[in-house]
Amino acid sequence: MDLHLQGKLVLITGGSAGIGLGMAKAFAAEGCSLVLVARSEPALKRAAQEIAAAHQVSVQVHSCDIGDERTAQVLSENYSHIDILVNNAGAIPGGALEDVSQKRWREGWELKVFGFINMTRAFYQVMADRRHGVILNVIGASATGLDAKYIAGSTGNAAIESLTKSLGSAAPEHGVRVVGISPGLVMTERLQKLLKERANTNFGNESRWLELTACAPFGRTATVDEIAASAVFLASPRSSYTSGAILYIDGGFVHRHNWWG
């Protein structure tokens, strides 16, 4: 299926690894040019070289910290002509209420929650002025599959869901779409780290981390490619009547009691 994305310019935060890198590859395969944003310049350059060589598209990189409130304005001034903004950067610490200090909680939210808000505010106005654009938020199914052992993440992701739905309901008046995806367990390096931490807590042995995925639908976690394919379709003109909607990509697991049994 032609997604009608050829020639579009896509900016992806957290685009040097994990789901962000997977989405970058998927957009590039559809003929999109890219702006990849992350903190690590070496990782960005490696990703850009790999994608450009594989898909013969333009890949720009911008090393910066989305957690810095000034960053969104700089990016919106430098890349005001983008067609699609993908808010993906973020790593909120795991742990129960008593485990997450105020400092760690604020740091996690500055990057993901307020980072998403600042980027959306900066680029939404640009898109609304020209009556064209899509904002895609990569959230996380813990927003609905609430987990007290991941309380900072659950509450932060719930805030981003509300942002997506509320702004997305008004965005069509300005010719803009705001949508979201909420992945469940996706096999990334970050997930492995979180699973090892949980395995150490539950079993006293981090090497048993894979046991924690036994309860996942279909007996496995999702792949990065599966998440990326859904994200690209949702952001494409093939889904042009979709706004204020969030796609849960978790094998239905969000409707269970929690993620970890």
The pLDDT tens digits of the residues spanning 26-39 come to 999 999 999 999 99
What is the rounded average pLDDT of the residues 74-92? Answer: 95
* Per-domain residue ranges of the chain: 9-185+225-247, 187-221
- Please tell me the chain's helix, strand, coil percentages from 3-state DSSP, rounded to the nearest 5: 50, 15, 35
Kindly report the average pLDDT of the chain as a whole number: 93
Q: Is the pTM of this model over 0.75?
A: yes
CATH superfamily assigned to domain 9-185+225-247: NAD(P)-binding Rossmann-like Domain (3.40.50.720)
Concatenated DSSP letters for 115-140? HHHHHHHHHHHHHHHHT-EEEEEE--
Long-range contacts of 190-198 (CB under 8 A, 24+ apart): 190/18, 190/91, 191/221, 194/94, 197/94, 198/94, 198/149, 198/260
pLDDT digits (tens, 9 = 90+) for 87-112: 999 888 888 899 989 999 899 999 99
pLDDT single digits (tens) 112-151: 999 999 999 999 999 999 999 999 999 998 878 778 888 9
